[in-house]
Structure formats: C-alpha cells, structure tokens
Amino acid sequence: MSGTDDYTLDFDGASAILRRLRGPDGCPWDRGQTREDLKSQFLEECYELAEAIDSGDVGGVVEELGDVVLHLLFQLDIGREREEFTAQDVFGGLIDKLRRRHPHVFGDADADDADEVMANWQAIKRSERREAGESILDGVPKSMPALAQAQALQQRAGHAGFDWDDVSGVLDKLAEEVGELAESETAAEREAEFGDVLFAAVNAARWLDFDAEGALRQANARFYQRFALMERMCRDRGLSFEALPLDDKERLWQDAKRRLAVGGDVA
C-alpha cells in the first residue's frame, strides 16, 4: 500500500493504515506508543468528543469520533502485537454481552419500553456480579471524574433499591448536608461535609434526570462568558476591573447576565 486511496473507508481500512504506521517502515512515534502512553491521550480525545457533542458541532463530532476510533485501533493492535488478545476476542466478548443482556431481542423475555429494557439490563448485570462474588458497585472506574463517578455509584445503588422514595427526600437531604457544612468547625469536618454536599447535589441531578458533570460544564461556560463580558465592558469604559469596588463588580455581573440572556456578544 502506498497512498490513502489504497485504504477502504471503513474499520478494516483504518486498521490497515495503522498497522502500516506501526510497521518496520512506518512512523517512529506510532511504532513507539504503548498502552500506558496512550491512556491519558485517549481520555483527552473522549473529552474533546464530548465537547463537540455539547456544542452541536457535527463536523467536530465526525473528527473527534475518528480520533477516538484511532485510539481503539491502537489498543487492539498493541494487544495483537503482545499476543494478549485479538480483535475477534474483543468483538466476540461485546457481541456475547449484547446478546446476553438483550433477552427481549435474542431470548424469551419481554420489554415494552426503554425503562423495562434498562431494568432487565441492570438485573442481569447484578446477577452476573453476584455470581462472580463482586459488589454491584464494582466496575465503576476509580479514575472517572468525581461527579460522574458519584452519579454512576448512585445509579447502581438505586437500581438495587437503595434510593429515596421521591425527589423531595433528595432535596431535603441536600439542604441537610448544606446545614451540616455551615455548622462544621474543623478543616477536616468542613472538607468531609463539603464532599457530602457535592454527593447529595449529584444525587439531585440524577433524580432530576440530567448529567451532573455536564451541568457543571455548562455552569463553567456561563461563568466564563459572563466574566469575559465584564472584562470587555471595563475595557470599553476605560476602567480597571481589578480596581473596581465589589458592589460595582456585582452590578457589572448582573449587566453581563442580562446581555447574555438576550443574545449579547462577548466577542
């Protein structure tokens, strides 16, 4: 193979070109990558894909999906080179899991809607973990961002019946934790209570049916936009933002919020 036209525009073509890059006459960088080297890069690519999805940038989604697939191909090729596993092992395990956890499609079970499908999936997963002597919480990655990890732990516990009866109990618990934070006296107590506040807030997000990690990213973006607009307004007025009294900064903040709420531009 000598040019990009020689590679089919599918999984096999992408796999073939990566093998060329990692081959004896390929690229020293690609050839030198290890599974451990690629781990942080893969996480970064996943975040970039999530950002493209959040922004509604279809072209960005296409590009970032390609980068994510590239990392999957890297891991498959490294497994093949080390003779640890093959692509068939990976896809075979995936196909087996999908068949096992969709008994309403491949077996005799019934599922009339998505909620029943999810309930069946979780019940099968819990049964598999019990048979393996594992906690139902096992498998939630410890390296996940803390908010996402908290939501995943709560979802698994909730599917096992360890949950509130309604959202009012969840919100009452959040208020209780905020009160305990206010009453904490030592640094250790404040840190522990603050963690409990965050955990309770994530549980509220789960009950209100949105992603806590995504909600915080949106809040970060809103803060960035508002703060940047405050800085711009100060520059336009010949003012030093840092030197402004706090009351003036608060008025600027409220002004920035109003402008952005009606489609104001921060550029």
For residue 265, the model assigns a pLDDT of: 52
Flag whether 252 is in a domain.
yes
Q: Which domain holds residue 80?
A: 4-96
- Give the separation between CA 38 and CA 36, rounded to whole angstroms: 5
Please, what is the angle between helix 114-131 and helix 146-159, to 10°?
90
End-to-end Cα distance, the chain: 47
Same domain, 47 and 24: yes
Same domain, 83 and 165: no
Residue 102 one-letter amino acid: H
Same domain, 85 and 9: yes
Task: Convert the pLDDT of each residue in 75-124 to its tens digit.
Answer: 999 999 999 999 999 999 999 999 999 999 998 888 889 988 988 888 88
Same domain, 81 and 8: yes
Flag whether 117 is in a domain.
no
CATH code, domain with 162: 1.10.287.1080
* pLDDT classification of 134: cutoffs 50, 70, 90: confident
Flag whether 124 is in a domain.
no
Flag whether 72 is in a domain.
yes
Task: Convert the pLDDT of each residue in 23-81 to its tens digit.
Answer: 999 999 999 999 999 998 998 999 899 889 988 999 999 999 999 999 999 999 999 99
Same domain, 16 and 83: yes
Flag whether 62 is in a domain.
yes
For residue 178, the model assigns a pLDDT of: 97
Q: Tokens 């489609």, residue?
A: 263
Q: Is the pLDDT of residue 2 over 60?
A: no
- Give the separation between CA 266 and CA 256, rounded to whole angstroms: 9
For residue 144, the model assigns a pLDDT of: 87
Flag whether 175 is in a domain.
yes
Same domain, 150 and 218: no
Alpha helices in 56-186 (DSSP H): 58-81, 87-100, 103-106, 114-131, 146-159, 167-183
Mean pLDDT of the 195-203 span:
97
The structure's pTM equals: 0.65
Same domain, 168 and 252: no
Flag whether 195 is in a domain.
yes
Number of domains in the chain: 3
Flag whether 240 is in a domain.
yes
- Give the separation between CA 66 and CA 9, rounded to whole angstroms: 12
Angle (CA) 181 216 218, round 5°: 145
Q: Is the dihedral of CA 254, 259, 262, 266 positive or negative?
A: negative
Same domain, 203 and 221: no
